[in-house]
Copies of this chain bind each other. A is one copy, B any other.
Amino acid sequence: MTPVQASACCRPIDDLLDPELFKALSDPTRSRLLGCLVKCGCACTVSDVGECCAVDLSVVSRHLSLLERAGVVQSRKTGRTVHYVVDYAHLCRTMRAIADAIEQCCPAEQLPGCARGCCGAR
């Protein structure tokens, strides 16, 4: 199977390798903000999360809303404060689904002990 033929063949990995999700995680500041939220575990206000980083609060606001658009966190507005929480379940599910989808494409000879033979015939 040539790369061209392979790319024409639809697999779960096609939808899972979503550049938007990875783009959301690709900035150091966002990474820090997310790590902060992940470890905190509770719903945090924009101002609170902002204290983890030495950037303007407007930057924090933009980063958090971008993370929300990417499905990484969720927001809830109460009064004039906005709380952000990590969507743990979605994130974990996505990461594991990516791993599964990649593994599904892995030729058998690279999976010691695996007899699936998904594409090991080559």
Query: Which A residues lie at the B interface, using CB under 8 A?
Result: 1-4, 6-7, 9, 11, 13-14, 17-19, 22-23, 25-28, 30-32, 34-42, 44, 48-49, 51-52, 86, 88-89, 91-93, 95-96, 98-99, 102-103, 105-107, 110-111, 118-119, 122
Contacts and interface: CB of A to CB of B under 8 A. Distances in A.
A19 B9 contact: no
Contacts of A36: 3-4, 6-7
Q: Which of A3, A30, A40, A49 has the most CB of B within 10 A?
A: A3
Contacts of A91: 99, 102
A7 B22 contact: no
Contacts of A25: 17, 19, 22, 26
